Amino acid sequence: MEETAKKRMLSGIQPSGDLHLGNYLGAIKNWADRVNDYECYYFMADLHTITVRQEPAELRRRSLNQLAQYIACGLDPEKNVLFLQSQVPAHTQLAWVLNCYTMFGELSRMTQFKDKSAKYSNNINAGLFTYPVLMAADILLYQPDYVPVGEDQKQHVELCRDIAQRFNSIYGDVFTVPEPLIAKTGARIYGLTTPEGKMSKSVPDGCVFLMDSPDDIRRKFKRAVTDSDTENCVRYDKAAKPGVANLMNIYATITGKSIPEIEAEFAGQGYGVFKPAVGEAVVEALCPIREEAEHLMADKAYLDGVYRAGAEKAAYVANKTLRKVYKKVGFYQGL
């Protein structure tokens, strides 16, 4: 009997800053766990970074280091296609075509455009407005069945689905219409000092980076915000105790324990015991990743080789889709 083909999955993270615990628990750890069940494509979304001004040498450094950290987090390049977005020209080629099948009103309603326009008011460029179309191209090129995303990116996947369905309604079944895949645990990790917002490199004291030293990690967790509740009780209540709930979610994702098990483990012990325990669990999880990433970063030739091989595999799949799209819209391809 012929073996059933695996479903395909694709996702990416911008190398606009160093990877942090939110990236790992919310995305990369889940990616690594899915390698046996899906055909996986994961990329460094460097084209997306330049909607905000970047220092070129720093962007190149982060793009290489992020690959090392992907691999150190368990993304085996022999089992996953790992590549740099800008090294596969089909991304920008398809993006232009899809721009012509995306409505102005759809883009103007995107939440992240409104947020970033407010944050970068001195640089509201066209790329900031149209980057959801590039994101749609990133996805549709590979005809994935699923796109693992956080809740904050679900709107972009919905737009991608709308674009794909609009194109398919005109030209037939060209694109697979992907489903967003959101992990129930660890899907959104909040800042240690700002539990009302997701963990972000823009708030470094509340952000645990994958390359942080054990002492830095312990310090950040000891200073983590809990609540003003005088009961000092480790109890899950996201509305009343968002800081504690965030720490419990981190601990649950790291250890595999359930929320009731965590509540029982720390019953009567208070935050002074709980916060350092979460910090130690994170140290234990991240130390091997940091050490392996440092080893890989020292071997630029190896990382360059992974990028080349990944770009070749990605381009093979992407170009098949692009040729089909070009034929459908009427571009001559006789050369």
Rounded to 10 deg, the angle between the 126-140 and 111-119 helix axes is: 140
Choosing from 7, 79, 114, 116, the catalytic residue is: 116
pLDDT computed for residue 84 by the predictor: 97
- Verify whether residue 29 is a known catalytic residue: no
Our count of domains for the chain comes to: 2
pLDDT computed for residue 116 by the predictor: 74
- Alpha carbon distance 32, 43 (integer Å): 14
Q: If we measure between CA atoms, which residue out of 116, 275, 260 comes closest to residue 195? A: 275
DSSP assigned state of 236: -
Choosing from 198, 220, 241, 275, the catalytic residue is: 198
Inside any domain, residue 20: yes
Same domain, 118 and 259: no
Same domain, 113 and 230: no
Same domain, 25 and 38: yes
Inside any domain, residue 193: no
Same domain, 128 and 227: no
pLDDT computed for residue 151 by the predictor: 66
Same domain, 14 and 150: yes
- Verify whether residue 201 is a known catalytic residue: yes
Same domain, 212 and 175: no
Same domain, 271 and 226: yes
pLDDT computed for residue 295 by the predictor: 97
CATH number of domain containing 84: 3.40.50.620
pLDDT computed for residue 124 by the predictor: 83
Inside any domain, residue 72: yes
Per-residue pLDDT of the chain (335 residues), as tens digits, is 334 478 999 999 999 888 999 999 988 988 888 888 899 999 999 999 998 899 999 999 999 999 999 999 999 999 999 999 999 999 999 999 999 999 999 998 888 777 777 777 787 888 889 999 999 999 999 999 988 876 667 788 999 999 999 999 999 999 999 988 776 544 578 999 988 888 888 888 899 999 999 999 999 999 999 877 667 788 898 888 999 999 999 999 999 999 999 999 999 888 999 999 999 999 999 999 999 999 999 999 999 999 999 999 999 999 999 999 999 999 998 76
Same domain, 160 and 258: no
Q: Which residues contact 311 (CB under 8 A, 6 or more apart)?
A: 83, 84, 87, 88
- Verify whether residue 241 is a known catalytic residue: no
How long a stretch of residues is the chain? 335
Same domain, 288 and 305: no
Same domain, 271 and 312: no
- Alpha carbon distance 233, 245 (integer Å): 11
- Alpha carbon distance 289, 209 (integer Å): 11
Whole-model pTM: value is: 0.88
Choosing from 6, 7, 201, 257, the catalytic residue is: 201
Q: Which residue range is the domain that position 213 belongs to?
A: 204-295
Inside any domain, residue 335: no
Q: If we measure between CA atoms, which residue out of 308, 324, 285, 309 comes closest to residue 73? A: 285
CATH number of domain containing 251: 1.10.240.10
Inside any domain, residue 90: yes
Same domain, 115 and 213: no
Same domain, 262 and 314: no
